[in-house]
Chains A and B, each alone.
Chain A
Amino acid sequence: MPAIIENDVLVYKGSNLFRQRVLLSILSGRAIKIEDIRSTHDDPGLREYEVNLIRLLDKITNGTRVELSETGTSMYFQPGILVGGQVTHTCCTQRGIGYYLEVLLAVGPFCKEPLNAVLQGVTHHDLDVSVDKMKSAALPVLLKFILVDDGLDLKVVRRGAPPLGGGEIVFRCPVRRHLRPLQWTKWGLVKRIRGVVYALRVSPTMANRVVESAKGVMLKFLPDVYINTDQCRGPNAGKSPGFGASLVAETNEKTFYCAEAKSLEAGSGETSLPEDVGEECAMKLLDEIYRGGAVDSSFQWLLALWMALGQKDVSECVVGPLSDYTISFLQHLKEFFGVMFKLEVLRSESEDEASDDDEEHVTKAQKVKMTCVGIGYVNISKRTL
């Protein structure tokens, strides 16, 4: 929902999309105020993981001012300057590391010092993108914008399943003065499937059983399937038991789709079979491939952000159907930066003959062409040589 602007402060209501708003606030330098944060809930106010995010952002910025109301249901946020550099942060275990890492990745190129962050916490979470997915699907997107990879790196040192976590990752991101505009309208065909299956504090056979079933599904489509198992031992396995998989499909135009599945939390009452986890993961990947587009659906918003912040030139990308998260992100982009994308639904040309036989079964996943002119965002901390 649109913000109300009071003295150049954007005022929002509710805790939803908290991360988007804070992130854009930092990049745009505009102060925001969020009211009515869970004001009708039994436990009102900001959650621990949101406060934790603010702490992290405080570490990578200089001069950020945050004012919380007594009840915690309203927050005033005045962003400082992005500094970056060396950061160590213990993430809240209510959310995965992905929740924090996505923000770091989004602001990474615009910091003063190259970001070198050590994050500790839950590496795989139901609500958040896992670290494996960030590594395999999100980093290539940034690579498209910066072209040269000098030190873009994500290393999973330890894994940690919820609820206790105990994982650790190291994330490095180079800085750029500006991002280049991007034309990315083709994504080609899937040429190989790769994957990682991890087993933490459970029998190593679990991992093998997951691999078996996931591979069984994928082999029906493509012979080039290779899935690694990561058997973590001792302290490398974190504090809680669990297992899961993430599969990556790589196309011949360097688009990466990634899907993941994981076991239910220990102590939740139900148990999950490794075979089911493997199959679920494979099905999700097929669904992702079906929807298509130049980027994985979870990172459409990152693509939109970097397109909008590019040089003053036209960027053009074709993605699969927009996710709800992306739609609200586009709305926020308009509010913070005044960037409006031109969005067109592409009609499929060659595959028209398939659509006349039966009803909704054949509905093609729509493709959306996003076009925008970058606002010419410049990283003022980075000098040109």
Chain B
Amino acid sequence: MAYFERQKTSKNIMKLVYGDFEIGNKSKEQNQKELESDSEEEELGGLFKKVTNTQKKKQKQKDQQDVDECSFFYSLNKPNLRDWTSEENKQYLINRFVTGKRSA
């Protein structure tokens, strides 16, 4: 699930959202350079071609192109929620309620 993967990697959130657009002074030349380096096909063992980043991106775009629209947090996939009622997990939640013990 995208959210959990994201949570593990502490990626720059600006880049995550606006990454496809240019942030700051990333110039067009740089973009072009990336494209060029992608187009050089690496061969593994003379038989397989390595999947380039642009190809990966294209595949991802294709996959998402016609997905049904849904504004929920977990959107279409059924979440595997933690069992919040178990004692250890409850500790993280209890302070979100007015009845929880104050940490201060």
Contact = CB atoms under 8 A, between A and B. Distances in A.
Nearest to B16: A327
A238 interface: no
Contact of A189 (B18, B61, B79, B98): B98
A249 to B, nearest CB: 9
A343 B13 contact: yes
A362 interface: yes
A368 interface: yes
Interface size class of B (residues with CB under 8 A): 35 or more
Given A221-B97, A297-B73, A287 B81 contact: yes
Nearest to B7: A363
Given A19-B69, A287-B84, A360 B8 contact: yes
Interface string A27-62: 000000000111011000000000000000000000
Nearest to B68: A127
A329 B82 CA distance: 28
B66 A14 contact: yes
Interface string A316-355: 0000011111010011001000001111110000110010
A177 interface: no
B25 interface: no
A19 B65 CA distance: 14
Contacts, number: 133
A194 to B, nearest CB: 14
Nearest to B8: A360
B66 to A, nearest CB: 5
For chain A, give the interface size range.
Answer: 35 or more
B70 A127 contact: yes
Contact of B21 (A14, A128, A191, A334): A334
A321 B100 CA distance: 23
A323 B73 contact: yes
Interface string B69-104: 111110110010111110010101111111110011
Given A252-B98, A290-B92, A345-B13, A334 B18 contact: yes
A289 to B, nearest CB: 5
Interface string B5-35: 0111010011011101100000000000000
Nearest to A21: B69
Contacts of A343: 13-14, 17
Contacts of B100: 189
B21 A331 contact: yes
A1 B73 CA distance: 20
Nearest to A102: B71
Interface in A277-324: 283-284, 286-292, 297-299, 301, 321-324
B67 interface: yes
Nearest to A343: B13
A36 B13 contact: no
B100 to A, nearest CB: 7
Interface string A167-182: 0000000000000000
A288 B76 CA distance: 17
Interface of B: 2-3, 6-8, 10, 13-14, 16-18, 20-21, 61, 64-73, 75-76, 79, 81-85, 88, 90, 92-100, 103-104
